[in-house]
Amino acid sequence: MAQIKIENLRKDFGAFTAVQSSTFTVEDGEFFMLLGPSGCGKTTTLRMMAGLELPTSGRIYIDGEEVGQKPASQRDIAFVFQMFALYPHMNVGKNMSYPLLSQGMSRIDANARVAEVARLLGISHILTKPVGGLSGGDRQRVALGRAIVRNPKAFLMDEPLGALDAEFREHMAEELRALHDRMGATTVYVTHDQLEAMQMGDKIVVMNHGVVEQFGVPQDIYDWPASMFVAQFLGSPPMNFLRAHGLVGSGADSLALGEARITIPAQREGLSGDFALGVRPEHVRLNDSASLRGEIIATEYLGTTQIVTVRTSFGEVKARVASDQKVAVRTATGLHLDARNLSVFDAETGRALRSVANQGVLGLG
């Protein structure tokens, strides 16, 4: 297994820059997520790791060895695609043993290895079946099996669950993660689904327009986003922004939203101009005595919790509150924001201002 290190990686397609200058490290044994909207450069990054695209500049190290300009066949990694291609004329076992036999492994060793991997994936009972009649899930397991038998240094996966329906995707996500926990193989996984990334990843890189917006542990990224893009991309509903114009001093522990004074974590950076105060829905409480006011315009019941949408003069705010709390649409309410969990963003650049609360995650900048 292996560590993968990316340094100042760049890829241009003609005049279009797909990846600008990425730097991050995938540690040995990690389940690593490349997350972002379509066109953000995540798949291009993965394909460069695999050797399917050559970088315009920058370096890729696998276990300390620079492989950036080497072809895929010399990197000893396995690639699992969204549209899994199996050999239709071979049965499941042959599909899985093929990569081994073509490497020159003896049939006996190959069969033993296939049997071992089939057990791991829970597909021992279908080894002699043709692939034609398999369910989507079993086809995906066979495709994985074919990657696993080779015992590569790392697995690279491009939205492997993207084609499955929601319920089954969740099931396969759990299965994949459990498999990873048993094997401990370095895995890099591309997705545009933030929940999938949070759910499965040890670490996440969030990309947008070819730029790495943030890199770190899922909970840290969720709690302390480095930019407004990350704040909006993670979470369902995403982080709320209360937008205003004014002054936030370095060292300040409160800011003004109209008449209301909001307590915030002590700031390490100041700003004068347009800012956005970011708050997650679960850190908003409906409290009639709070000075920040708004009107409740919608409620959405979700079982354990409900989402309440409140219109304020600084923008709409969604609050996640217990579903047994009585909430009446079209009534006025106060909003209490949990002072420990607020971020302030420069609305012009989208960047988060450093505070005592987020500097541990964002660095001292």
Partner 1 sequence: MAEIVLRNITRRYGELTALEKLDLTVPDGAFVVLLGPTGAGKTTTLRIVSGLEAPDLGEVFIGGQPMNGLPPAQRNVAMVFQQYSLYPHLTVRDNLSFPLKSPLSQTPRHAIAEKVVRVAETLQIAHKLDNKATELSGGEMQRVSIGRALVRNPSVYLMDEPLSSLDAKLRADLRIELKSIQADSGATLLYVTHDQTEAMTMASHIGVLDHGRLVQFGPPREIYADPVSLYAASRLGQPRINILPADLFGPAPSGAKFIGLRPEQICQGKGQDSLVARVERLGDQTRLHLKFRDHDIVTITDAHTALHAGDIVPIQPDAPFFFAADGARIRA
179 lies in the binding site for partner 1 (CB under 8 A) = no
- Whether the Cβ atoms of residue 141 and residue 123 lie closer than 8 Å to each other: yes
Q: Please give the radius of gyration of the chain, using alpha carbons only, rounded to the nearest integer.
A: 24
166 lies in the binding site for partner 1 (CB under 8 A) = yes
- Whether the Cβ atoms of residue 353 and residue 346 lie closer than 8 Å to each other: yes
Output the smallest distance, CB 302 to partner 1, in A: 6
338 lies in the binding site for partner 1 (CB under 8 A) = no
Distance (Å, whole) CA 91 – CA 126: 9
Residue selected from 177, 209, 243, 268 as contacting partner 1 according to rule CB under 8 A: 177
Cβ proximity to partner 1, 22 vs 187, nearer residue:
187
Query: Which residue in this structure is represented by tokens 């798949």?
Result: 43
Close Cβ partners of 40 (under 8 Å, ≥ 6 residues apart): 207, 208, 209, 210
Residue selected from 83, 302, 332, 356 as contacting partner 1 according to rule CB under 8 A: 302
Close Cβ partners of 300 (under 8 Å, ≥ 6 residues apart): 306, 307, 308, 309
Output the smallest distance, CB 336 to partner 1, in A: 17
181 lies in the binding site for partner 1 (CB under 8 A) = yes
Residue selected from 75, 141, 146, 280 as contacting partner 1 according to rule CB under 8 A: 280
Output the smallest distance, CB 330 to partner 1, in A: 10
What is the chain's length?
365
223 lies in the binding site for partner 1 (CB under 8 A) = yes
Check the CA dihedral 81-87-90-95 and report its sign: negative
Output the smallest distance, CB 14 to partner 1, in A: 25
Classify residue 292 by burial, with Cβ atoms within 10 Å: 0-12, 13-18, 19+: buried
Distance (Å, whole) CA 230 – CA 276: 14
298 lies in the binding site for partner 1 (CB under 8 A) = yes
Cβ proximity to partner 1, 52 vs 307, nearer residue:
307
Output the smallest distance, CB 55 to partner 1, in A: 30
Beta strands 305-312 and 271-279: pairing type?
Answer: unpaired
234 lies in the binding site for partner 1 (CB under 8 A) = yes
297 lies in the binding site for partner 1 (CB under 8 A) = yes
Binding to partner 1 (CB under 8 A): which residues in 192-211? 195, 198-199
Q: Tell me, what DSSP letter sits at residue 266?
A: P
Cβ proximity to partner 1, 39 vs 58, nearer residue:
39
Q: How far apart are the first and last CA of the chain?
A: 33
Distance (Å, whole) CA 207 – CA 13: 18
Find residue 278's DSSP bridge partners: 241, 343
Residue selected from 51, 93, 145, 281 as contacting partner 1 according to rule CB under 8 A: 281
Q: Which stretch binds partner 1 (CB under 8 A): 47-55, 86-94, 217-225, 249-257?
A: 217-225
Residue selected from 237, 315, 334, 350 as contacting partner 1 according to rule CB under 8 A: 237
Structure tokens at 346: 């420069």
Residue selected from 17, 63, 282, 293 as contacting partner 1 according to rule CB under 8 A: 282
Kindly state the number of chain residues that form the binding site for partner 1, as judged by CB under 8 A: 31
Binding to partner 1 (CB under 8 A): which residues in 87-126? none
Distance (Å, whole) CA 268 – CA 342: 14
Binding to partner 1 (CB under 8 A): which residues in 316-335? 320, 323
Classify residue 103 by burial, with Cβ atoms within 10 Å: 0-12, 13-18, 19+: exposed
Q: Which stretch binds partner 1 (CB under 8 A): 1-9, 42-50, 52-60, 171-179?
A: 171-179
> Which stretches of the chain bind partner 1, using CB under 8 A?
166, 174, 177-178, 181, 195, 198-199, 218-219, 222-223, 234-238, 280-282, 297-298, 300-304, 307, 309, 320, 323
